[in-house]
Amino acid sequence: MAMLPLVLHWFFIEWYSGKKSSSALFQHITALFECTVAAIITLLVSDPVGVLYIHSCRVLMLSDWYTMLYNPSPDYVTTVHCTHEAVYPLYTIVFIYYAFCLVLMMLLRPLLVKKIACGLGKSDRFKSIYAALYFFPILTVLQAVGGGLLYYAFPYIILVLSLVTLAVYMSASEIENCYDLLVRKKRLIVLFSHWLLHAYGIISISRVDKLEQDLPLLALVPTPALFYLFTAKFTEPSRILSEGANGH
């Protein structure tokens, strides 16, 4: 949940920056700076205050995330709202982090975009910021409703989504071979970012007591990209249409 704002910032910055804009890299760096500082501040204000670690209650079961559903009702008449956060602070710390991310974005990004986004029209310069004003409330609701489910399923969600988004990006960018990938540095940055997500998902699934057996799976991180590059030429739409027209 902490990585999602950064990934979405990068996605919308890339989406709205335009091919000729030189401001995208600076916006990417600024988004990374915002999320990093927000994470550090969040840790510093959490218990114990002033240090970069937290005291956390251990998660035993899914219902620990939804204690508000277990408020007692004596005589089935009046509900007593006395439950507390059983997984403290794993549930509320995300909301605090999002608040700091939003504040830092509103303080830093508009000034940066106004100064350096010369390759964009006035109406397009702030679209990545407007997008953040939409996705932060969505992420907040997602954490509030599905925090427990995400806690158990996030490694698999990360693996699936990172594979899908990598395939969509390479297809949209018309990358069909290694040369197409190397011709622009931006594409390599996107590729390495997805590889980091692949690796993070694999490590998250790994068993702590059997790391020596699971960590070799990290060698599979480049496999999806290589598979795409080797098979893209067989699924290129123009080739399929031409072969169909020739009766093959």
pLDDT in tens, 110-124: 888 777 665 555 556
How far apart CA 7 and CA 28 sit, in angstroms, is 10
Q: Is the pLDDT of residue 146 over 60?
A: yes
Under the banding of pLDDT at 50, 70 and 90, the label for residue 220 is confident
| 23 closest CA partner among 126, 101, 134 | 126
Q: Is the pLDDT of residue 58 over 90?
A: no
Mean pLDDT (the chain) is 82
The Cα-based distances of 228 to 14, 177, 195, 223, 236 in angstroms read 22, 9, 14, 9, 11
| Claim: this prediction has a pTM higher than 0.75 | yes
Which residues in the chain belong to E strands, given as ranges? none
The Cα-based distances of 136 to 45, 104, 151, 188, 247 in angstroms read 21, 13, 19, 28, 52
Task: Write down how long the chain is.
Answer: 248
Residues 23-34 have pLDDT tens digits of 777 888 889 999
**Angle separating helix axes 127-172 and 185-205, nearest 10 degrees:** 90
Please report the pLDDT score of residue 245 as a whole number.
55
When mean pLDDT is compared across 47-51, 133-137, 208-212, the lowest value belongs to 208-212
How far apart CA 137 and CA 71 sit, in angstroms, is 26
How far apart CA 177 and CA 175 sit, in angstroms, is 6
Where do the structural domains in the chain lie, given as residue ranges? 2-54+89-246
Burial track 103-125 (b if 16+ CB lie within 10 A, e otherwise): ebbeeebeeebeebbeebeeeeb
Residues 175-198 have pLDDT tens digits of 888 887 788 777 888 888 888 888
Q: Is the pLDDT of residue 211 over 80?
A: no
